[in-house]
Each structure stands twice: as C-alpha cells, then as structure tokens.
Amino acid sequence: MAKDVEVGANEYGVKDYHDPPPAPLIDPEELGQWSLYRAVIAEFIATLLFLYITVLTVIGYKSQSATDECGGVGILGIAWAFGGMIFILVYCTAGISGGHINPAVTFGLFLARKVSLVRAILYIVAQCLGAICGCGLVKAFQKAYYDRYGGGANSLADGYNTGTGLGAEIIGTFVLVYTVFSATDPKRNARDSHVPVLAPLPIGFAVFMVHLATIPITGTGINPARSFGAAVIYGKDKAWDDQWIFWVGPLIGAAIAAIYHQYILRAGAAKALGSFRSSSY
C-alpha cells in the first residue's frame, strides 16, 4: 500500500501515517479468534446499557411531566442522556470492538471496508439483541410506566408525513456516521496530532445535537437497534407501522456518509482512478 505523508508547515513538523489495509469481505480465520467474540460481547453489553439508561430517561420524563408540565428532564435532558451514554460507551468499548453500538455505524464502516462482513453481521445481531434486553430490563423494573408512556418506542409524530420522517432519519444518521469517520480518521490524527482529539466526545455531541433536532419528528432513531429493541418489547402496532423508517433511513444516511468521506473527502475515487491510469502504462 502506498504511504501518504502529511507535511506540517509549522513547528509541529512532519508526521507519516498509513491507512490500514481494507478489511477482507469474508475472513474465515476471524471466526477462530477470541478477539472477535469479545468484541461481539462488548457490543451486546454496550447496546443493552445504552437502551436501559436512555429508555428509562424517556419513560421517567413522560411520567413526571404527565402531572407537572415543567417536571422531568425535558427534551434537552433526553438528548443529553442519549449523547452522554454514547460518549461513555464509545469511550469504554472503542479499544475492544470499535464502539459501534449502532447497526448504521457498523454498516457504514463495512461499506468503507473497515470491518469484514462476518464481523458486521455479528455486531448487528449483538446490537439488536442487546437493545431488546435493555428495553426488557426497563419493562421489568417499571412495567406500568413502560406500557403507559409508550415504552420509549420510536414513531412518526402527528403532523409529519413519512417523507419528512425518512428525511430526518437519513440526515440525522449522516451527521452521526460522518462524525464517526472524521473522528477516527488516521490521516486527521496524523495531521492534527498536536491537537488532542478524544473521538468519543464529538460522536456523543453529534448524537446530542441530532436528538435536539429530530425528537419532535420521529423521537430520533438514527440507530436501528434502538428502534427495533423498543418496538419488540413494547409490541404495539404504531411502533411496527413506522419501523421501516428507522431501518431504511439510517442505512441510507450511513451509506451516504461512507461514500462522502471515503471517496470525496479522502479522495478515494481520485486515488483509484490514478492507480488505474498508472497500471495502464
């Protein structure tokens, strides 16, 4: 693989970096490695904890505001709960599994050849199962409130059509996955090594900001496992009627973010074209 070199024009000097090689589509040897299963377990537990804390926050806010309109944490608090938990969990699991905690993130990284197909499938299964278990714990602890206040399930809000909801999920997920790519970009880390960047922080803030914008529209999915787990445990028709929005939208948004970052910002298309031209002579 060709080596890219970033030359600093100031006192920070020169720093080299190597892009990691693309992950194989299918790697049979990976199935025999404990590191894969450790990562899958980490994704399961992280998604379980994510849904447990965030859905409890949503249920608690709705139960408190039902008797006092000024009670509870409000939409701002809910957004902080989602963003803060992502910050915490990505920080805890990044060195083990990469800290995806979201099938859309896994899908985007798979398209960018950052993870293999086998790992991507196992991650998504673990994330969905973790989300189901996390919501199940919430229902077990607060069944009456859980059923009364919608189980934290995502659905399209009254007054919005499916196109608006789908667009909100696409754009919201694009913001998240684009942030993931930018925060973990090895080229950025090499070029800006003098600026300490804690990757989980911008990722958590991206989740926070997207929730502020889209909670009134869809309740904010941008994470198919979060929407799926809540729908499975809540089990009402409304959650399932809109479920496709919370899969199609995030997957499209993740794909656009992967293409934008890899082939436009990182000039992947230009590099591929240059490599093709050089091999033609």
| pLDDT > 90 in the chain, percent | 64
CA distance 262 to 114: 11
Asked if residue 79 belongs to a domain, the reply is yes
Asked if residue 70 belongs to a domain, the reply is yes
Asked if residue 64 belongs to a domain, the reply is yes
List pLDDT tens digits, range 182-234: 998 877 666 655 445 588 999 999 999 999 999 999 999 999 999 999 999 99
Asked if residue 273 belongs to a domain, the reply is no
List pLDDT tens digits, range 80-115: 999 999 999 999 999 999 999 999 999 999 999 999
Asked if residue 20 belongs to a domain, the reply is no
**Under 8 Å between Cβ of 129 and 44:** yes
Mean pLDDT of 139-161: 92
Q: How many domains, the chain?
A: 1
> Which residue would you say has higher pLDDT here, 7 or 108?
108
CATH number at residue 206: 1.20.1080.10
Asked if residue 224 belongs to a domain, the reply is yes
**Under 8 Å between Cβ of 180 and 105:** yes
Asked if residue 154 belongs to a domain, the reply is yes
Asked if residue 126 belongs to a domain, the reply is yes
| pLDDT band, very low/low/confident/very high, at 177 (cuts 50, 70, 90) | very high
* pLDDT at residue 24, rounded to an integer: 82
Q: Which domain holds residue 119?
A: 29-264
DSSP state letter for 16: E
Alpha helices by DSSP H, 66-161: 74-93, 103-111, 117-141, 143-148
Q: Flag whether the pTM goes above 0.85.
A: yes
CA distance 105 to 110: 8
* pLDDT at residue 190, rounded to an integer: 61
**Average pLDDT value over all residues in the chain:** 86
- What is the enclosing helix (H) or strand (E) of 203? helix 200-218
